[in-house]
Structure 1
Amino acid sequence: MYKAIAILSFSIIALLSCLTLLMMIAIFYTKSFQSMWKKSPSLALFHVSNILLAVQSLCCAGQWILFALGVIENVPENLFQLLSISHAGMVITQFNYYSTVALFLQRIYHLLFPANAVKRFNTVVLSILFAASLISSILPVYTLIAKSNAANGRPVPEGCYSIDCLNIADTVADFTRLFQFSYALCRIVVLNALGVYMLYLLRKHAKNIQSVLEKKNNSFARYVFCLHVFVQMLPFGIDTLLASTAHIHISEYIGPYGVLGCAIDFTVQTLVYYSLLRGERRKVVTVKST
């Protein structure tokens, strides 16, 4: 990968992360976290996970830009620093994934049982998903410790601007790699199944939804799923297919597409929610004035 392409990609990631954080400030200024938590805990946690992703992406982009410019030296002593921020992103991604699952489950529950109280459902679901998020964070921490002690000379090869191509010994056992692949596959299947079922229910019950708040939350959940498919899952699937058949890696041509896709994802999600929130407030003001 050319250095200029890497710097450009990480600069875009940094810009998107800053925009997301600014929009988050505007969102929580308009609607407090406490108010959002009372109405939808899963939505509040989802926004928190996006804030954490934006901060981590900004730090990751800054780190690799400094590395590309030679400010961070390519020596084994800096390997832990290079690995830690990226592995922190893996942990935050687990939190974001389970927050997304909780968001979809809440929408599905509202559509299937609109008259039922949702407080107990939220408590049970969030407790289970929070525990799962903590457990799934153990593996990234384990691999961080294992890899940080396995540097060989210059840890970053020429043209590498990602932890995926670092020059370190293979310290991860076959069983661990198999578990990582199986777990990632299960995550994709579960999220897609929930998303598709949610879209089906939204279409089926569209005429029965009268509340402005419910319409806004349903629209946002729909955008979240569609964005995730197009800017993260689709590029990952194409890259996997090309790598296994033609031995071509997208990252060699367009830079760190995974981090860039994640940045586009949480930025557009935040923009969509901010637009829906402003539209809701304009309707409230219009009704009061009439």
Structure 2
Amino acid sequence: MELHENKRRGVAVAEFIFLIILWASTILLFCLIFRSRSIKEFWRKSSTLAIVFAFIFLNAVHQIIHFTSWTLYVSQASPSQIFGNAEPVFGITSISIQSFYDCFTIVLFVQRIAIIMDPAKNRRTYNRILYGAATIACCSIFLWFIVAYSKVIDFSVNMVPAECYTLTCTNPFRVERSALNARTALSITNVVVGIVFLVVFLSRKTIMRTNVAKVNQLTRVLFFERLFLEVIPLTVDSIFIAQTGVSIGLYIGPFGAIGCTTEAFCFVLVYYIVFKPPRKAGPGHSSTQ
């Protein structure tokens, strides 16, 4: 029994260290991106894409702190009572940031569909409506989490049971599943809207400017990454928890964190590759238009 527990603890620590490294690598990619272009230029390419990246960066910083605290706890390097009090707050914050990211990736899909259908149309008012609706939805979800979890969080006790190495097995998230259900619903919505985007993208042969075409290609990459790295594992985990009470979180990371983190890293990496500025021609070379 003790050998099995040590194995589970070792797997959890290895996963958390991997996640920390991957999020740190994502931040490094952001540094490389903004070393070669200004934030204004980045915003001009696609304001929605810029917002999505802002939430990825914010999530990266938060998750490095979050997973570091998990690593210290699982390796028994931090007091369990202090971690048990902090973890539910970390978890709610993490899922809230991810929910903002989810809402604006849905906006990105919807905008790309509209641009493919009619590239010439001015959509300033349309975009403002989408941004407003997404912001209201995100804030409503965040307030919903605060109200729901304020009823089940008790800072006078340790809310992380023994042998618990994932967010889903902490006491507040076992009692109140609002955050987990919201994440699953947003993930499924992303897939549905993403499928519509993919169908429109493949069926229309509209000629577009290079930057617009690149953003469309990047959005297609985002859809497949979210589907296979995040949505499918999260949905399967939610079904397992609902039907059997057993989570596969130990094998896909805390609440699918391995897939979510890999998806964010790959998305930023693909952006860096696609929009990487061309090298300047040397003195003995001439450039062609």
Q: What TM-score bracket applies, with the shorter chain setting the length? A: 0.7 to 0.9
After TM superposition, list the pairs within 5 Å mapping 1:247-266 onto structure 2: 248-253=246-251, 255-256=253-254, 258-266=256-264
Q: Distance in 2 between matches of 1:254 and 1:236?
A: 9
1:30-78 Cα offsets, whole Å, 9 max, x none, are: 2222222233211110100110111121111101011112232122x54
Q: Post-superposition shift, 1:183?
A: 4.6
Query: Does 2:162 align with 1:158?
Result: yes
Distance 1:214-1:168 versus aligned 2 partners, 3 A rule: closer
Q: Distance in 2 between matches of 1:120 and 1:231?
A: 34
Equivalent of residue 221 in structure 1, options 204, 219, 222? 219
After TM superposition, list the pairs within 5 Å mapping 1:108-187 onto structure 2: 108-149=113-154, 152=157, 154-167=158-171, 172=176, 177=177, 183-184=182-183, 186-187=185-186
2:203 counterpart residue number: 204
Q: Post-superposition shift, 1:180?
A: 5.8
1:10 counterpart residue number: 16
Q: Distance in 1 between matches of 2:271 and 2:38?
A: 14
Aligned residues: 279
Q: Distance in 1 between matches of 2:280 and 2:115?
A: 23
Select between 63-72 and 247-256 the one with higher mean Cα deviation.
247-256
For residue 17 of structure 1, give the secondary structure of its aligned residue in structure 2: helix
Q: Distance in 2 between matches of 1:180 and 1:88?
A: 10
Tell me, which stretches of 5 or more residues in structure 1 are unaligned? none
Q: Post-superposition shift, 1:86?
A: 1.5
Equivalent of residue 90 in structure 1, options 91, 95, 101? 95
Q: Distance in 2 between matches of 1:182 and 1:52?
A: 22
Q: Post-superposition shift, 1:169?
A: 9.9
Select between 24-33 and 243-252 the one with higher mean Cα deviation.
243-252
Distance 1:67-1:180 versus aligned 2 partners, 3 A rule: closer
Q: Post-superposition shift, 1:245?
A: 5.6
Select between 247-256 and 35-44 the one with higher mean Cα deviation.
247-256
2:45 counterpart residue number: 39
Tell me, which stretches of 5 or more residues in structure 2 are unaligned? none
Are the equivalent residues in 2 in contact too, given 1:5–1:254 (CA < 8 A)? no
1:155-201 Cα offsets, whole Å, 9 max, x none, are: 322221223212469764xxxx5x66775564344322211111111
Amino acid in structure 1 at the alignment position of 2:27: L
1:192 counterpart residue number: 191
For residue 158 of structure 1, give the secondary structure of its aligned residue in structure 2: coil
Q: Post-superposition shift, 1:209?
A: 2.5
Distance 1:195-1:284 versus aligned 2 partners, 3 A rule: farther
Q: Post-superposition shift, 1:11?
A: 0.4
Distance 1:186-1:260 versus aligned 2 partners, 3 A rule: closer
Q: Distance in 1 between matches of 2:77 and 2:181?
A: 38
Q: Distance in 2 between matches of 1:64 and 1:25?
A: 26
Q: Distance in 2 between matches of 1:132 and 1:47?
A: 19
TM-score normalised by L of structure 1: 0.86
2:104 counterpart residue number: 99
Amino acid in structure 2 at the alignment position of 1:105: V
Distance 1:167-1:123 versus aligned 2 partners, 3 A rule: closer
What is the alpha-carbon root mean square deviation over aligned residues?
A: 2.7
Q: Distance in 2 between matches of 1:129 and 1:247?
A: 32
Amino acid in structure 2 at the alignment position of 1:120: T
Amino acid in structure 2 at the alignment position of 1:80: N
Q: Distance in 2 between matches of 1:123 and 1:259?
A: 31
2:237 counterpart residue number: 239
